[in-house]
Copies of this chain bind each other. A is one copy, B any other.
Amino acid sequence: MAITVVGSVAFDTVETPAGRKERCLAGAATYFSLAASFFTDVRIIAVVGEDFGPAEQAVFDAHRIDTAGIQHAEGKTFFWQGSYLENLNEAKTLRTDLNVFAGFEPKIPDAYRDSDFLFLANIDPVLQRRVREATPNAKLVAGDTMNYWIKDHKPALLEVLKGLDILLINDTEARMLAGNSNLVQAARAVMEMGPRMLVVKHGEYGATLFHKAIPDAQESRTFKTPAFPLEQVTDPTGAGDSFAGGFFGYLASQRDLTPGVFRRAMFYGSVMGSFTVERFGTERLQQLTREEIDHRFQLFRELTHLD
Contacts and interface: CB of A to CB of B under 8 A. Distances in A.
Interface of A: 88, 181-185, 202, 204-206, 208, 219-220, 222-224, 226, 229-233, 260, 263-264, 267, 298-299, 301-307
Given A219-B299, A304-B305, A306-B305, A229 B260 contact: no
A264 B303 contact: no
Contacts of A301: 306
A231 B186 CA distance: 9
A224 B184 contact: no
A232 B185 CA distance: 8
A208 B224 contact: no
B230 A184 contact: yes
A220 B183 contact: no
Copies in the complex: 2
Contact of A303 (B185, B202, B223, B232): B223
A49 to B, nearest CB: 37
A233 B223 CA distance: 19
Contacts of A208: 229
Contacts of A220: 302
11 contacts: A182-B233, A183-B229, A208-B229, A219-B298, A219-B302, A226-B226, A260-B307, A264-B306, A304-B304, A304-B305, A305-B306
Given A229-B184, A231-B185, A263 B306 contact: yes
A224 B205 CA distance: 10
A267 B307 CA distance: 12
Given A206-B205, A224-B226, A231 B302 contact: no
- A204, A205, A206 pick with most chain B CB within 10 angstroms: A205
A301 B220 CA distance: 10
A184 B204 CA distance: 11
Nearest to A301: B306
Contact of A232 (B182, B219, B299, B302): B182
Given A205-B206, A305-B306, 17 more contacts: A182-B232, A182-B233, A184-B230, A184-B231, A185-B231, A202-B205, A205-B205, A219-B299, A222-B229, A222-B303, A223-B303, A224-B226, A260-B307, A264-B306, A301-B306, A304-B305, A305-B305
